[in-house]
Structure 1
Amino acid sequence: MVISEGMAEVLRSLRLSGVNGVAQASVRALGAEGVALSLLVGASRMVEPLWCHPALSARFEELQFTLGEGPGHDAIRTGSPVLEPDLARVRPERWPALLPAARDMDVRGVCCFPLGIGAIRVGVLTVLCAPDRLPNDQQYADAAALAAALTVACLDEKRPDRRNSDTPDPGVTVPQTSSLHRAAVHQATGMVSVQLGVSMEVALLRLRAHAYAGGRPLGEVAQDVVARRLRFNDDMSGPNSPDGGKG
């Protein structure tokens, strides 16, 4: 299917302004409730939000990161789009923690398109679907075209006017503390691994479980661990604040 005129304009802007210049236009062209672009960064390939619009998209990306589950994770893992325009129809056991939290956020549907070529994974484009109607074939075609163009733009280190890609659209959320939060999660995971004598994978699960139980972002919990305001003792006693929370 041929892309819409609105998406054609977005792709033209992408070539001129870089990846950070198309957030708001992408939301309009797709008729979506929100759009987020997240990239895989570092040796650990952790998901790092590049931009989100509007703020609802930023909150949903943080939710997926905290819980370690959701359509974005599945799209990156499989390399195939994950299209769930109506989360109410998704089996509860698929994303048991994410589904009720997404409902509380008033996120009704999500479509995630992986960014990559072959076995190379670059990131994921997350589209929040409008609650009053399901995405049509044109919107799917437009989103797939945008994901493909973003893949090329992110891989192409020699694209023209790359310096402009650091200037986002006005009103677009560009997470300023995201990198710091992700670095803290890495460090906290190692500390919890030592405290509990478990693998890094199990330590990260414990961090995520504690963040979910407390209704807090994973990055905040990780920063408490790094600052030694929170310590994971063992499976019997669980986390505690050894210094009374004074740091």
Structure 2
Amino acid sequence: MAKILRLLQTDAWPDAVADTAELLGVDGISVSAGSGPGVVEVLWSSGDLSDSFEDLQITLGHGPGPDSLAAGAAVRVHDLAFVREDRWPGLVVEASALAVEAVFCFPLRIGAITLGVLTLVRSVPGPLTAAQGDDANALAVALTKRVLDLGFPPLSPPDDEDQVFHHAVLHQATGMVSVQLSVPLAEALLRLRAHAYSNNLNLTETARDIVARRLRLAPELPPMNVIDDADED
């Protein structure tokens, strides 16, 4: 871990973070930042498992990552199968389909301010060991400094349009839906999430389709007037 923490101060920091997966006994690692109410920006991810879980949290708008960001405290879920359904509706079932059974989130904090979250995912249930928990905390502290040194929020610019940051395309799509449907921004974001979830898409894919004008959300139909027989008497 000491070697990895030293590498975090160099341009090799993504490889350094990826190397901690085996050390921490997890299958995926991601680093995200808060970029506004209800929106989390994924700054870096180690692979498909972490990508999929982060997309799931963004689509649903809740999960251990957003909770850790909001509270500025670690959220450790040793076994998602034992989480109450009403805590994070839909997440437990969908996470199981992704083969994510345990999640550990550590806030990236400086003083009272929480900048982001380090999220560890694992395909088997069970807690982190005491040593692994200490190492994860140390990694979170080092990543906090790294995020600040590189200029929060983006750690690096996107290489092409397919790697455009989540928050940029989400903000743009939310604004377009807000104008198109004449609804507040908060409602527009909810409509985006509802469409993505009901069509088994992640939120980023939906937002990109809207920005590219491949998708336009239809306005909700007004409720039909129903005449009760008793009202006619």
TM-score range normalised by the length of the shorter chain: 0.7 to 0.9
Query: Partners of 2:55 and 2:149 in 1: how far apart?
Result: 27
Query: Partners of 2:110 and 2:123 in 1: how far apart?
Result: 29
1:206 maps to amino acid: R
What are structure 2's unaligned runs of at least 5 residues? 223-233
Asked which structure has the greater RCO (Cα within 8 Å, sep 6+), the reply is 1
What's 1:37 paired with?
31
User: Deviation at 1:133?
Assistant: 3.7
Between the two proteins, the alignment pairs up a number of residues equal to 217
What's 1:232 paired with?
217
1:96 match: secondary structure: coil
User: Deviation at 1:184?
Assistant: 2.5
Query: Partners of 2:204 and 2:163 in 1: how far apart?
Result: 8
What's 1:71 paired with?
64
2:215 maps to amino acid: L
> Of 73, 81, 91, which aligns to 1:88?
81
Change (3 A) 1:227 1:156: closer
> Of 5, 22, 26, which aligns to 1:11?
5
For 1:106-121, what aligned pairs fall within 5 Å after superposition?
106-121=99-114
1:215 maps to amino acid: N
TM-score (norm 1): 0.78
What's 1:21 paired with?
15
Query: Partners of 1:224 and 1:59 in 2: how far apart?
Result: 18
Q: Is residue 2:180 matched to residue 1:186?
A: no
Note if contact 2:173-2:211 (Cα within 8 Å) is conserved in structure 1: yes
> Of 141, 149, 152, which aligns to 2:142?
149
Change (3 A) 1:141 1:176: farther
Change (3 A) 1:218 1:24: same
Note if contact 2:78-2:125 (Cα within 8 Å) is conserved in structure 1: no
2:139 maps to amino acid: L
Note if contact 1:10-1:29 (Cα within 8 Å) is conserved in structure 2: no
1:59 maps to amino acid: S
Answer with 1 or 2: which has the greater Rg.
Answer: 2
What's 1:240 paired with?
none
User: Deviation at 1:197?
Assistant: 2.4
CA RMSD of aligned residues (A): 2.5
Change (3 A) 1:117 1:36: same
1:207 maps to amino acid: L
Query: Partners of 1:60 and 1:186 in 2: how far apart?
Result: 21
> Of 200, 204, 207, which aligns to 1:219?
204
TM-score (norm 2): 0.83
Change (3 A) 1:12 1:176: farther
Query: Partners of 1:40 and 1:96 in 2: how far apart?
Result: 21
User: Deviation at 1:106?
Assistant: 0.7
Query: Partners of 2:181 and 2:123 in 1: how far apart?
Result: 44
User: Deviation at 1:17?
Assistant: 4.1
Change (3 A) 1:53 1:229: closer
Note if contact 1:113-1:124 (Cα within 8 Å) is conserved in structure 2: yes
